[in-house]
Structure 1
Amino acid sequence: SDDLGQDTSSMPQFPQMVRQCSPIWLQPVLFNPFLPTPCRVHLLGPGSFLCSETELGFEVRAAVTIQYGYDSWDRHLSTSEKQHWMVAGPLFDIQVEPARAMAAVHLPHFLCLAGGEVDASRMRIAHFVDGGMTLEEPTGVRPFHAVLQNPSFSPLGVLWRKIQSKCQAKVHSLALLYRALRAANTTLHLYLIPNDRSLRQVTGNRPHTPGGSQSHQSA
């Protein structure tokens, strides 16, 4: 569900545009109709927008063209960095023209913040430029998005800092269940993954028994 338009009276203050109105759901142009990214949208004026394919959110000041798609954490995050940081959402490659038209970007994350069991202050937004990683504190953290105002655009994604190398946080998950319909003995294949649309894309396209059925269940 969309958290950009929720009551923010008890949350940190965000730009006026977000507090006053719910975002407009947008359907991007897909370069490949069989895959959710890369995507392109042309927005004609200011407002708040949420991509129906990726749940990536934008606040824009003026007309703008945005091209975006999933990138690979494994391609950018080193083995030593993975010891200290847990991936907490998809990594996006975003291009904006003109860049000054973008007031804020809302990056989806799958951390479960209910009950305060996950320390949101350990959340950071990673930028990857010239082979190096820089970390920035989010402008604000919402139940399903991390907000970054006046962003610069390189590969961007949400990380959560581990206190110990094997420390894990509670996350929203997705169960993928496959069943072979024509097998003599019913066989079920269960995949439990973080509720990350980029992972859902990869796992959902995983080859399975012909004639099988598939169901998704969020948790």
Structure 2
Amino acid sequence: MVGAESLSSDEKEVTPNGVEGSSGSGSAEEQPEGEASSEDSSSSSSEEESDEEQEEKESPPYCNESGGSCLAPCERCRNENDQKEQVTPRRLAGGQFMVQLEAEGSYQCSSTGLIFEVTGRARITYSLLSWSKCAQLVQPPWIVGGPLFDVRCSAPGALRCIQFPHCLCLGGQGAAVAFKVLHIKGGGAAIEPSAEFSASHVKWVVSSLSPVGPLIHSQEPLQYHGAVILYKAIDEHPSLSFWVYLATNNDSFIKDISKAVKHSKRKFVQIEKPPVCQKLLQEGKKYRLICEPEAEITPEEIEFVDGSLLKLKSYFEVYLEKPDDFTLSLVEQDSDETVWKAKLRERDWIHYEQNKNEQKRSTGSVKRRKPALSILEEEGLHSKKQKTGGTADEMGAKSLTDQQLLVIAKLLDRHWREMAIECLQMEMKDIDDIRAMEDDVTMQKLLVLRKWREREQGQGTAEALQRSLGEKATYEILQALQGFLAQS
């Protein structure tokens, strides 16, 4: 078996370091053709996220019941990859996907469209990121060409190439388009060459693993596969209010729309209508939304641009006084051709009210769920109270021993340097000094932990290390620290 099947909701796995986005500063540095970065890369630190953001990342931005993307490209683009072996990813917490590939070959993820070329067995985890958080890294003449992903691999050397889906319809004009990829590394980024591109994908030879996404440069007007995303406002008023978004067929773009609507002060429900535009969208052209019977629509028209890098996305607001059935049509202003059309009926959203209470209970249970860190802290402290009749602080808990720190050092993953700087407040100079005098990586980690313990001045306890590592600690580390607490 090549790919793992999706887990049910009660089987969903939890990974310690789900990453939603990466931050960086400065513009991307373009690399010449044929050059690839050989430096060790690491994704930049993820921002702390609320429970609502974590819930949002549990689902792809627009998917069908099987978890696959509804936003399929045109027939010609899709047929090109029909021969690829399809794998169904396992869904992990934090919006991550995982596939276990058992042999050499090319495999396409059924949910994201990513294609992985591997030379042998590999476990690949990946998550969808937002381009708007990396806007300062994309400089003209380059523009966004498709979704941005953070990809990890258990055997980095086995992952030879990644093919990223792009949102263009080349229409036989591929010679006029140049593709590269933006490779985000640490505090900056580099523009790296693509190996080749097809009607649907951009191929990149893996240089190192961190957030990567396709870029486009073209002297000619670009044509995009488009999608229309509908949301209805939920309130007690009998009138109807909708937000209608015009987007490229780019999962990162559509995810940003979902997040913007979710964080609005108003409550909305997404209306499930076929989203794919029947006519290609062209940058710079104007489109208007028409309603039958007539409704108030603001603005009257929208000039289409790829808004992937924009934090605020443009949309039409539709207002109807009476809750009757109606038809929405998106029309290209110059040609008056219909790009997209859908009929909306009351039953498209009426069931939401019936299920709202159940949804609130479900959402409430997720929000009230305590993270593993809090649970383990409570269990550890409760155990100490039972044994000693007081908390660790009250009884003067002992600092972690070298043997205990060595256990933690062995559990730290390859991002331990970032964790030391972010969570343990270490300076890069301290880490460089330690690496200069000690070659063994495990011993380097131990020396960093010892330096943290010394700085704590007798308070370098298991509980203190839990607090310092916070959500960055893996479940295995938390279990080890809980064991140390129980021994105190």
TM-score interval w.r.t. the shorter chain? 0.7 to 0.9
Question: Aligned AA for 2:201?
Answer: H
Match of 1:62 in 2: 120
Partner of 1:170: 223
Tell me which amino acid in the other structure corresponds to 2:208.
S
Q: Provide the residue aligned with 1:23 in structure 2.
A: 84
* Cα distance, 1:173 vs structure 2: 1.2
Aligned residue among 86, 96, 105 for 2:162: 105
Q: How many residues align?
A: 198
2:195 is equivalent to residue 152 of structure 1? no
Q: CA deviation at 1:185?
A: 3.4
Report the Cα distance in structure 2 between the residues aligned to 1:74 and 1:98, rounded to whole angstroms: 30
What is the CA-CA distance between 1:178 and the residue it aligns to? Answer: 3.2
Query: 2:181 aligns to what?
Result: 125
Map residues 65-84 of structure 1 onto 2, 5 A cutoff. 65-78=123-136, 81-84=138-141
Q: Which amino acid aligns with 2:150?
A: D
Could you tell me which runs of 5 or more consecutive residues in structure 1 were left unpaired when the two chains were aligned.
Answer: 8-20
**Distance (whole Å) between structure 2 residues aligned to residue 61 and residue 201 of structure 1:** 32
Compare the two structures and name the one with the higher strand fraction: 1
Q: CA deviation at 1:176?
A: 1.0
Deviation at 1:103?
Answer: 2.4
TM-score (norm: length of structure 2): 0.36
Which string of whole-angstrom CA distances, capped at 9 and with x for unpartnered residues, describes residues 145-180 of structure 1?
1011344322110112366xxx96322111112356
Please tell me whether residue 135 in structure 1 is matched to residue 191 in structure 2. Answer: yes
- Deviating beyond 6 angstroms after TM superposition, the runs of 4 or more aligned structure 1 residues are none
> Match for residue 105 of structure 2?
47
Identity rate, percent: 24
Aligned pair partner of 1:6 in 51, 59, 80: 80
CA separation of 1:185/1:70 partners in 2, compared to 1, >3 Å: closer, same or farther? same
TM-score normalized by the length of structure 1: 0.75
User: Who wins on radius of gyration, i.e. which is larger?
Assistant: 2
1:85 aligns with 2:142: yes
Aligned to 2:252: 198
Contact 1:176 1:192 in 2 (8 A): yes
Task: Give the aligned residue type for 1:49.
Answer: Y
CA distance in 2, matches of 1:211, 1:28: 27
Distance in structure 1 (CA, Å) of the matches to 2:174 and 2:104: 36
Q: Using the TM superposition, give the Cα deviation of residue 24 of structure 1 relative to its aligned residue in structure 2, in angstroms.
A: 1.9
Higher helix share: 2
CA, structure 1 residues 6+117, in 2 after alignment: closer, same or farther (shift >3 Å)?
closer
Over the residues paired in the alignment, what is the CA RMSD in angstroms?
3.0
Distance in 1 between residues matched to 2:179 and 2:174, nearest whole Å: 13
Which one has more relative contact order, counting CA pairs under 8 Å at least 6 apart? 1
